[in-house]
A = this chain, B = another copy of it.
Amino acid sequence: MRRGLSVAGLGALENEAELIRLAGKHGFRTVDVNAHWLIGQFGTEKARALLAENGVEIGSIGLPVDWRTTEETFLDGMKILGEHAAAARALGCTRCCTYILPSTDYPSAHFMAVATRRLRACAQLLGVYGIRFGLEFVGPHHLRTRWSNPFIWTMEETLDWIGAIGEGNVGLLLDAYHWHTNGLKAADIEALRPEQIVHVHLNDAPDVPVEQALDNARLYPGEGVIDLTGFLRALRKIGYDGPVAQEILTQEPPTGTPEALARHSQACFDQVFGAAGF
């Protein structure tokens, strides 16, 4: 497993180049950034150099396609997915992720059919560039009724959806917060094969009943109540060796400079990885 950073939890970063520098400086090995933006900003060679000089690789890019609303919006996104996938490949990145909202204003079954077709299209084009596609189930209970109709939020449902999408390069983005808010245990991770996990998010939850944990009330790893030792050990036990990237979603931006927040993140990772014995 490789420690990773995302922008979520680093405060007012100037841009993702700063994230790369802070990640490298503070012991992180991967960053979740926009490869296409990096290449647009610096060119392929300099973008590669920026990553290499800081000793980091791109853990995952975000999916630049909005598959949740109209067909036209989806098709607009698909136009640029090839460029984004090619940029990721050019910078050595092999992962792309998206999240699944647990409810929807569309009728549930119909939306599932449409979304299955759309995500398969994304998976197929990503696969052309050797990129795996991670789907993040989202656990917080308040989001299950946030929109009119229930969608899916459990790991089991998401695995079934991956089966429905039916492309070999699709797997889970496993986020500690959603694992926690779904009431999952280490055994649920241990039931997975490592190649079923594309990417991992690390964060922590406040000491409230699980049903009340808000999606944007996340804490830094080790500052909350999630059994991150069990989480990390289970991942190691099954042989997962990809990125474990911090993602701290909060209502207000965290206080402190990006530098201070990166240092804090490093300390948090040191603690929870240490507690897990590695």
Contacts and interface: CB of A to CB of B under 8 A. Distances in A.
A114 interface: yes
A114 B151 CA distance: 13
How many copies, total? 4
B160 A117 contact: yes
A64 to B, nearest CB: 11
B82 A152 contact: no
Q: Is the interface of A mostly helix, strand, loop or mixed?
A: helix
Interface residues of A, number: 43
A150 B82 contact: no
B79 A75 contact: no
Interface of A: 75-76, 78-83, 86, 89, 107-114, 116-117, 120-121, 124-125, 127-129, 149-152, 157, 160-161, 163-164, 166-169, 193, 195, 239
Given A78-B82, A120-B164, A168-B169, 20 more contacts: A82-B125, A107-B108, A107-B150, A108-B108, A108-B149, A109-B149, A110-B157, A113-B157, A113-B160, A113-B164, A114-B163, A116-B164, A117-B163, A117-B164, A121-B124, A121-B127, A164-B164, A166-B166, A166-B168, A168-B168
